[in-house]
Amino acid sequence: MAIREIVTPPNPTLRQRAQKVHRITPEIAQLIDDLVETMRVAPGVGLAAPQIDVGLRVIVVEYAEGSEDEDAPEKPPKLYAVINPEITRTSKDRVLGNEACLSLPGYFGEVERYERVTVKGLNRHGQDFKLKAKGWLARIFQHEIDHIEGILYIDRATQVWRIEEQEDEELPAPV
């Protein structure tokens, strides 16, 4: 495993639609491991291959159920590695929420996203992956899937602002 550099604009890979993965090779397994390690060190809750300058449709997400609810007992985070992810179903309900991004350090924005989504793709072993996600987990998946489409959250944001150091503690982890 290796910690990779997270790229920022104007790196062109961030704005290009990533290529579909046709075979799961040892290089793809290594890419997943590198994404996980890089995401954790950053730290963030999600990372897409284009964010480390790799134009492939691979994302990782690590999320602890109930982590946004201070009164809920903390559960261990669950790690998702998804190859060729796509959103196959969305709720009608949309919600505004705050987002940050490891590729746009120092900025924060308000983005409208679907409250619930169904995501499908392949896991790291090439097996079918399907997940019904809601709330913050749904937001993370939408954010990461946008990355493989060449879309940054600022493209969807109703507001974007610079993070002030004193605000830092109140913000959710970047995705």
pLDDT for residue 7 is more than 60: yes
Question: What CATH architecture is 12-170?
Answer: Alpha-Beta Complex (3.90)
pLDDT for residue 49 is more than 80: yes
Query: Between β-strands 46-48 and 58-63, what pairing exists: parallel, antiparallel or unpaired?
Result: antiparallel
> pLDDT grade, residue 137 (50/70/90)?
very high
If you average pLDDT over residues 14-39, what whole number do you get? 98
pLDDT for residue 78 is more than 50: yes
Q: Domain spans of the chain?
A: 12-170
> pLDDT grade, residue 69 (50/70/90)?
low
If you average pLDDT over residues 23-31, what whole number do you get? 97
If you average pLDDT over residues 145-158, what whole number do you get? 97
pLDDT for residue 175 is more than 90: no
Which uninterrupted H or E stretch holds 38?
helix 26-41
Query: Which of 144, 165, 167, 170 is flagged as catalytic?
Result: 144
Instruction: Examine the residue annotation and report whether 144 is marked as an active-site residue of this protein.
Output: yes
Which of residues 175 and 69 earns the better pLDDT score? 175
